[in-house]
Amino acid sequence: MKKIFLVFLFLGSFSYTYAQNYRFVYTTLASMSETELMNIKDPNVKKRIEERLNRIKDLEYELLIVGNKARYNFYGKLLAPEGYRPPSNRKFYYFDNKVVEDVTFKRDSKRFFVEYPIDFFKWTITKKSAEINGYTCYYAFCEVKYDDYRGIGTYIMEAWFCPDFPMQCGPDEYFGLPGVVFIAKQQGARFKTVLKRIEFLDTAPDLNFPKIEKTINSDQYTDEFNKMMEKDFGPRRL
């Protein structure tokens, strides 16, 4: 599989000379089946769930790419009808072969810039392919370990990426693959982020990067997260 990654990386570096400005627009889809909906007996509950699923599909996220820099975040109205909040409102900035996540703890207004190397996640790239939005994409997965206030465990990140766009970015934390991620999903989760459309931009958009004076690494961020949770909910239970 390492050989596959190197081939993609070579093709990506060759194509990168001709990089353009792009806007990738994503939405969130739920994996609730028709059978599950039919099994909901209360008509009011069923109606609320259907409305919620429809609102989720109307929310959009954008990945703006300008040369070797990029920004990913939710855009549009932060509050949908009836006060519905988007499943994700994370912000990521790509530059200098690294990724910086913009995080704010709303309870105490603390803001952190969490820095990750672009190869932070150890992806396994497979030969499994599929056509998505008219492009050939490849399936990859990555096991992620966590040890924080939530507990200790692992989960699997799944991604379909497209080497025709050889930038190592995607929605949320789905970065580091040799192509833009078209579909992102945590294994077993009901929601997945999917690409709606690609816009080829004639002029470079303003990425509006914030002023980043100081960054912390992922371990330092975990410490800050644990402190916040312990302050609000008491000591962590091991």
Indicate the class that CATH gives domain 2-233.
mainly beta
25 contacts 34 by C-beta, under 8 angstroms: no
Domains of the chain: which residue ranges? 2-233
**Per-residue pLDDT tens digits for 83-92:** 445 555 689 9
Q: What is the mean pLDDT of residues 191-207?
A: 93
What does the pLDDT average to over 211-234? 92
Give the pLDDT confidence of 79-129 residue by residue, as tens digits: 444 544 555 568 999 999 999 999 988 777 889 999 999 999 999 999 999
For β-strands 69-75 and 191-201, DSSP reports them as: unpaired
How far lies 113's CA from each of 105, 128, 209, in Å? 12, 35, 12
Whole-angstrom Cα distance, residue 25 to residue 82? 24
Please check whether residue 137 is in contact with residue 129, taking contact to mean a CB–CB distance below 8 angstroms.
yes
Q: Per this entry, what is the length of the chain?
A: 238
pLDDT digit string, tens, across residues 9-45 = 444 443 443 458 999 999 888 766 566 666 777 777 7
